[in-house]
Amino acid sequence: MSGKVYFISGANRGIGYDFAKQLSSISSNTVIATARDPASATDLQELAKSNPKVHIVKLDVADEHSFEQLDDQLKNIAANGIDVLISNAGIAQSFQPLLETPKERLVNHFNVNAVGPILLVKALYKYLQKSQTKHIAFISSLAGSINDFVPFSTSAYGQSKAALNYAIKEFSFELESEGFTVVALHPGVVSTDMNINAFQYFKENKPEVLELMKDYESLTPEESAKRLLKTITTLSKESNGKFFDENGKEVSY
């Protein structure tokens, strides 16, 4: 897990922050961590102050113009390329039935969770090309699985992750001949701010969902990141196009 340049989107908190923290604990690594508003990303700012190889970059994956500003921010810190892209930024704000989900929420989730990661790969493609590693890990979710459909409403969230999963499979096919390894990762049931809001919604509106979820292990962001990094740092050509859970087990799209 040493000597690489990592780019992590959505690193201001939760799993993304713990990716940055754990990867930067290895002195030979360089970590490029994004936040929509770097000034308010206090934990990330403290991490960067204590480690000169952590670089904070401003990026809002919901704003296509934000990607146009990446080159100016990366020209000095990623001049020799990016080895591993961890596409982590996403939202989960919709768990009601489809008939109750407004169009705006559907579109917003699709833009952030599916279109945003595609635009991110397009923006960083030339940096990844420079590397011998060329690994892309997308943080997806089993909520977007078709074959292993989760039997409760995730509406806009699940649909957007299903769209992301298709993009991951397409990237794995299109970039394979160039030496890329592209994978999807399910982070597990994690106690992030995003998921805590979902749990509260289920508690108030769909208690039967919490009953279904009780058998799933609840992870802290730190533990989820630690487990996922075991997979991310041991990827091989044979991993390309696969979907792994938080324990490194291959799961179905």
| pLDDT tens sequence across 51-93 | 999 999 999 999 999 999 999 999 999 999 999 999 999 999 8
* Catalytic, out of 17, 161, 242, 253: 161
In a domain, 207, yes or no: no
3-class DSSP state for residue 34? strand
Q: Which H or E run includes 112?
A: none
Cα 112 to chain centroid distance, Å, stands at 11
Q: What is the pLDDT of residues 227-239, one digit of tens each?
A: 999 999 999 999 9
Nearest Cα to Cα of residue 141 among 251, 16, 4: 251
**Helical spans, DSSP H, in the chain:** 14-24, 42-50, 64-67, 70-74, 103-110, 116-129, 155-174, 193-205, 207-213, 221-232
Provide the percentage of residues in the chain whose pLDDT is more than 70.
89
Burial class (CB in 10 A: 0-12, 13-18, 19+), 179: middle
Task: Tell me if residue 157 is catalytic.
Answer: yes
pLDDT on residue 148: 86
Give me 52's structure tokens: 């000169």
DSSP-derived secondary structure letter, 115: I
CATH number of the CATH domain containing 235: 3.40.50.720
Residue 205 counted as domain residue: no
Among all chains, which residue has been given the structure tokens 């802290």?
220
Query: Does residue 58 belong to any structural domain of this protein?
Result: yes
For residue 31, being part of any structural domain is answered with: yes
Choosing from 157, 201, 242, 253, which is the catalytic residue? Answer: 157
Burial grade of 146 (CB within 10 A; 0-12, 13-18, 19 or more): exposed
Mean model confidence pLDDT for the chain: 92
211 found inside a domain: no
CB–CB of 248/184 below 8 Å?
no
Which amino acid is residue 154, in one-letter code? T
pLDDT of residue 154: 82
Contacts of the segment 41-48: beta carbons below 8 A, 24+ positions apart: 41/11, 41/12, 41/13, 43/12, 43/13, 43/17, 44/11, 44/12, 44/17, 44/20, 47/17, 47/20, 47/21
Give strand pairing partners of 87: 138
- Domain count within the chain: 1
Q: What is the pLDDT of residues 130-158, one digit of tens each?
A: 999 999 999 999 999 999 887 777 889 99
Domain holding 175, by residue range, is 5-189+221-248
Q: Does residue 144 sit within a domain?
A: yes
Mention every residue, 6+ apart, whose C-beta is less than 8 A from residue 131.
5, 81, 82, 83
C-alpha span between 202 and 210 (Å, rounded): 7
Q: Is residue 91 part of a domain?
A: yes
The answer to whether residue 44 is domain-embedded is yes
The pLDDT score that the predictor gives to residue 83 is 99
What pLDDT digit, counting tens, does each position of 190-223 carry?
Answer: 876 555 566 565 565 656 555 555 556 689 999 9
